[in-house]
Each structure stands twice: as C-alpha cells, then as structure tokens.
Structure 1
C-alpha cells in the first residue's frame, strides 16, 4: 500500500510524513515513485503492450521536473510539452528528442526554434498561423518537421469550464468548418517543410464518462476519411489526448481500459470498414499519472474558532502552492498526519496564509482535533500543484521530495528568499 498508518503516523510509500516534514520542512510536495510506476504499468498492460503502434506521452503540464522526465524515459513513455520551459526541462533531463511532442496554443517563435533545433518528434499545430511560422523556421534552418493539427471537435465534455477544451468555442484547436480545415490540411500536405502526420484532439480534463472521447473520435475519423477522398492522403497518426479522471474526494475513478478499449475498438473497426491502414494511436495522460501519487504536507499554525459559525485551521501554505480550490473550486481530503488513529470528528476549514479571503484549501472537512505544530496532509495533490505554484505575497515555492519504499530524496529544492528576489534590480531614473 502507498499509504498506511503506524503508531498514529501517516506513512507514504514507506516514509513517515512527520519525519519528512522534519527533514525537508513544510510546506512540502511529496511524490510516491511506486504510485507513478503503478500508473505506468496499468497503461502498459491495457494499451501500450496490448495494441501495436501506440504511444503514451506524459503531459508534463501536470508536473514537470528533471526527475519526472527521467522516470518517464526509463518507463518508455513519451513527453507532451506545452511551453519552451517544459521543453527545456526535458532537454536538460536528456530526454530523447524524437519522443517529445510540443502542444499548446500561440507557441512563440523562440519556442518553435528551440523545438526545431532540438529535433523533437512532433509539433502539434494549434492555429493556422503556426504552420507558416514552422515553415519559415524550417526553411531558414534547412530542416523538416513532423506535425499534426489539433482540431476542435465541437464536443462538450461536461466538466469545469476552465478545463473543457473540445467545444467549438475554445481557444484551442482549428475549427472544423470545411472552408477552414481542408485548405489547412492541403497546405500541410503540399508543404516541403513539414511532414503532415495526423490529427490531434483533447476534449477536456477530469472526465469520468467516455462518451466525449468517442464522439470526438467519430468526428476525427470522418475527417480522416474525407482527407483520403479529397487529397488521396493517408493520415498515419491519431492523438486522442487524455483527460482521464482521478479521485480527489468521493469520485469513482474509471480504469484506463474504460476509455481506451472502446477507442481502439472503434479505430480498428474504422480501418476494417474503409480498408485504410490503422493509424498510430497516441494518448496524453497527465493528471491521471501523478495526481494520486502526490500529497502535500503542512504545519498547523493558528486556530480560530468562531462560535456557532466555523473553525479555521491555518497552515503554512495555501493558494500559492495549490491554487486549484480558488481557481476551480476543487475539493480535497486531508488528515492530521501525526494523529491518524484519533477520530476525525472536528469540522474545520483549512485556510492558507495569503492575504486573501479565498485562500481556502478544504472547507468544512472532518479532521482529528488539531493543535499548533501538528502536520496536516492533503491527498491527491500531485497534479497542477507545483506546476501552478506562485510567489504571491512573496511566499517561496515549496520543495519537492520523491519517496520510494521508505527512502526519500529531494528532487526540487525549496526556494529561498534570496532565490525568490535574485532577478530583481533597480535603476534610479
């Protein structure tokens, strides 16, 4: 088990959370390597090893670090990056260039140049102007780039508006209007500077129903068919994104196979129906790989009990290390890590130390009765915690520790005050 209790203390992948807090300080992000490997192995068994010509590209926006890139490389995964910074991290990790795909809207010229210079495997084009930029750079550098088009399939995934990406009204992707998509495809096919590989879609995040994926897939397959009819051109790659939901509180997580089996069955059926060769199929799991593999540790500070209204439990972190509750109204569960055997009957609201009324991580949660100095753990914080952290109120960004079988190692150092202001300067004008 990844979590267990010994002598009232929460252990995470064999490590005492109290000892981790003492050794590395709080706030602290903690990742279980064994939990990450469990996700890798499940994807291998139901997708990568089961079907030929498939790839899984870990979406580094969920959590990007040199250590994470090295784990993904060792496990045979590809990477999906969405910025020059994420790409640079992969480069510094020595990640194989051909296993990197570059996603995201409004890629900057310097980002595209970095990708093309490094020779990454794919650029997923998100807008019509992007093809022109890639062609211009490739012409200057005498290179040719593999590309896919990200489309907007017009599917509502019924998740939070901020993590819905497949609707027609979206900042992401190329719309499927015939007068838009087919000239774009023709331009990519005819370009001497790109190899047009295929189509990408991503319908949204934190999904528990496979219907959105299947609807988007059907739209995409019809596009593949019409591309063959119009241009006699074979789409050789389909990237169906990710978005597989995880458990934060009481959600019932669906296994990867629930999403991937019907997707693969339909693609195989389509190939049999049309006589077209089955394209390579790529997925982009991110949140599902790391969310439940991570916890956050805090030290309890002041406690405020407003009689008949609410009890506030203040911690030494907050929205600067986990913006999701304020941004998405995300919900979490937690526990007093040094009082795990005591009844969790005290209803409290866990608040951060920022000067914001909205700096609330857990509202009206049940905990063992806490006191100043206790260690509070919040679960399933491995995705979009560190990657969305900020220095708001001039709070340093916490460190990150990797644990495995009772051993621990710091993989990102805690930011110091000096490091936080190291780039600041002043010249009197």
Structure 2
C-alpha cells in the first residue's frame, strides 16, 4: 500500500470525527506507469487511454502530455475530453451511437470514428453530407474465430452486439465507395474482442490474428489501411494470479514479422483498466463488527454503491487493514482476532459485499480498510445514489 495514504488516513482521523470514506488516486503513479509502458512500445504503435475505465478529469489531465489520445464511448465522455483539450486525438466507439452523437463527433473533430453497424455507417454518410463535414472511420470487426483468449468478458468471436461480423465488410466498403459518399473516409479497422486478459503471449497471438486478417482484406478488397486499432483488454489480477507482463508483450510484438510488415500502417492500443487500476484506492472505515451464527461481518461506511466492481465480477477485492487508535466511546471497542471476516457495506442488500471470509489477524471497529486496485471500473460503474448515502471524498497524489 502507498505509505502516503496511510499517513493521510491518520491525519484525517485527527481532524475529523465522521468515519472516513474516500477514493485516492495516485496521479504520479499513473504517469510513471505510462512512461514505462511507452519506453518498450514498438515504433509503429501508439497508446490511447480508454476513459471508460475512469473518466476522472484529473486523470485525463495527468495523461494528456503522455498518451497519443483518448478513446471515448459516449457524447458525455467526448465532451469531457474536449474540456481538457480541444485538439487531442479522440477515438469514438460504442455500439449505439445516436444521430446527435455522430454529429457531435464530427463537430468536435474526432480523429477516428469506430463504425459498429451498417445502419450506423449509412446514417453517418447521410449526416456528413448534410453537415458538409469530413470524417475518418475504422470499421469495428467481430471476427469469426474460436482462437481468441477466454476471459470473464468477451466481446468478439461469438454472437455480439459489438461491431460488424466479417461477412458484412464487403457491404460496408460498398457504402463507403458509393459515389454519393464524398465525406466519410475509410482509414482502417478496429478490434476489441475481450477484457482483462492476463496472458501476454496469448495477447500477442490475438494481435497477430488481427494483422493477418487485415492483410487478407487488403488483398481481397484492394484497401489502403492507414490504421489498425487493436483495442485494449490488457488484464489486471485481483487475485494471486500473475499480472499481465507488458514488457514481454511489447518485446514479442516488436520482434514479430507481422508488425514489421505493417510499414506505414499505424497500430493503436487503447487500454483503460491496465493504465489506472493499480493507482486507485478505495478507503472505507469499519463502523461495526457483528457475529451472525458462526460468521463475522465487518460493516463499512461505504460499499458497492461506491465500488461495485467486486460484486459485478464476483471476486474478493484485495485490501489491507490500517489500524487506528481513535475510539471516542465509553464502552469497549468491538474487535476480532485471527478470524475469517466477510466485508460488507452499509446498504440494505445481501449483495453489498466486497470480500468474503477474509482471513485477518486483527480487526477493530474504527480501523480503515484500503481496497487496492480500485482505479478502474469501481466508482463510475456503481449505483451511487441507492439509499441516498453520501458520496465518498476524492483525493489525489500528485
């Protein structure tokens, strides 16, 4: 755990009487992490940040000087990035773009718009002509294959609402090549087949498959492919399994003949979770410890309305205990020693659970739990206002 957070918890306790509940984002750690990622990336590749993982404005600002640009999946995310920079390159994805979002994408000058259906492409051609705006598109393709790595979240290689199946490529290209279309320009392909893959070797194989497919399509359809966006999906381990080896991934990629054959074609990656997950901490104080039959439960000031990821993914979220000395009451302080404790939140639902049967040496009411790896898909996917509990505070390490 970051020692700065531990010091901050004790300082906060000295100045406040209410139980602590906060997110802490290590902006300096994020920047250092991205610096190291960039050091090993092959020359033909570029790094974008998918802000769906965490759209905190301070994080976007911290990454602005480092990444090639940002990937967004809604008009809200698009406008948030444009608040930070009017000119940074933006990739705009999402399976359900409305007319107003397509118009906004053109108005705000996105670098590439990911087309996910034939209807979306036809609408874009019509709107671009109507608004007299030029835009570059990448066709998002859902490959027909059973060779993709298997993860908890898979978006490709099976029936999916995301992207175009391979047989629709020809029709999409026909729409783009129609003489009525003068404003929407084909630039390449986009793939995003899975989320949270932990095996670098399999990820290299998957990127090779993308590159091989694009080579086939270039020959079959006579295409000039300027960009291949290989998406994200780089994994973060929330258990004892090894982390994704970024250095191994980039070194294997750099040595591959498929990458060298790209020549002037750019290869994009758009990770989100892998960039920020390890640099966010959810901090919540234990407000009660109770025994029910033969089980112990620690109740937090907080819960899944702030950090829904463990309930959503069905995992025990890693945490550590910060012991505290504050106890302002005249009666004994509840505690457990050498026991299994289930960590739950303050909501009136049994699904408000962050860790089941955590084996703890000691835990007291008033101690603070720091949930590590809470920088991605934790706060923003949560049902913040269920039961009306106050939101957490937000702090930043710069």
- TM-score for the superposition, normalised by structure 1: 0.82
* Whole-angstrom distance in 1 between the partners of 2:156 and 2:350: 33
2:34 to 32, 40, 46: 40
How far off is 1:355 after superposition?
A: 1.2
* Residues 1:195 and 1:140: Cα distance change in structure 2 (over 3 Å): same
* Whole-angstrom distance in 2 between the partners of 1:269 and 1:172: 26
User: Are 2:117 and 1:127 equivalent residues in the alignment?
Assistant: yes
Question: Mapping of 1:4-403 within 5 angstroms?
Answer: 4=3, 11-12=4-5, 15-20=7-12, 26-47=20-41, 51-97=42-88, 99-153=89-143, 154=145, 155-160=147-152, 163-177=153-167, 180-190=168-178, 191-210=181-200, 212-266=202-256, 268-269=257-258, 272=261, 277-307=263-293, 309-338=294-323, 345-390=338-383, 391-403=385-397
Structure 1 portions without partners, runs of 5+: 5-10, 405-429
1:325-345 deviation line (CA, Å, top 9, x unaligned): 2221022121221359xx983
Asked if 2 retains the 8 angstrom alpha-carbon contact of 1:112 and 1:134, the reply is yes
* Whole-angstrom distance in 2 between the partners of 1:53 and 1:277: 8
Q: CA RMSD in A?
A: 2.5
SS at match of 1:16: helix
* Whole-angstrom distance in 2 between the partners of 1:212 and 1:133: 37
How far off is 1:210 after superposition?
A: 3.6
1:396-426 deviation line (CA, Å, top 9, x unaligned): 432321113xxxxxxxxxxxxxxxxxxxxxx
How far off is 1:78 after superposition?
A: 1.0
Asked if 1 retains the 8 angstrom alpha-carbon contact of 2:19 and 2:301, the reply is no
How many residues are aligned here? 382
* Residues 1:72 and 1:95: Cα distance change in structure 2 (over 3 Å): farther
* Whole-angstrom distance in 2 between the partners of 1:279 and 1:17: 49
* Whole-angstrom distance in 1 between the partners of 2:174 and 2:235: 36
* Whole-angstrom distance in 2 between the partners of 1:113 and 1:346: 58
1:149-187 deviation line (CA, Å, top 9, x unaligned): 111123543211xx211222222111112xx22221332
Structure 2 portions without partners, runs of 5+: 326-335
* Residues 1:387 and 1:264: Cα distance change in structure 2 (over 3 Å): farther
* Residues 1:270 and 1:304: Cα distance change in structure 2 (over 3 Å): closer
* Whole-angstrom distance in 1 between the partners of 2:217 and 2:337: 59
Asked if 1 retains the 8 angstrom alpha-carbon contact of 2:125 and 2:184, the reply is yes
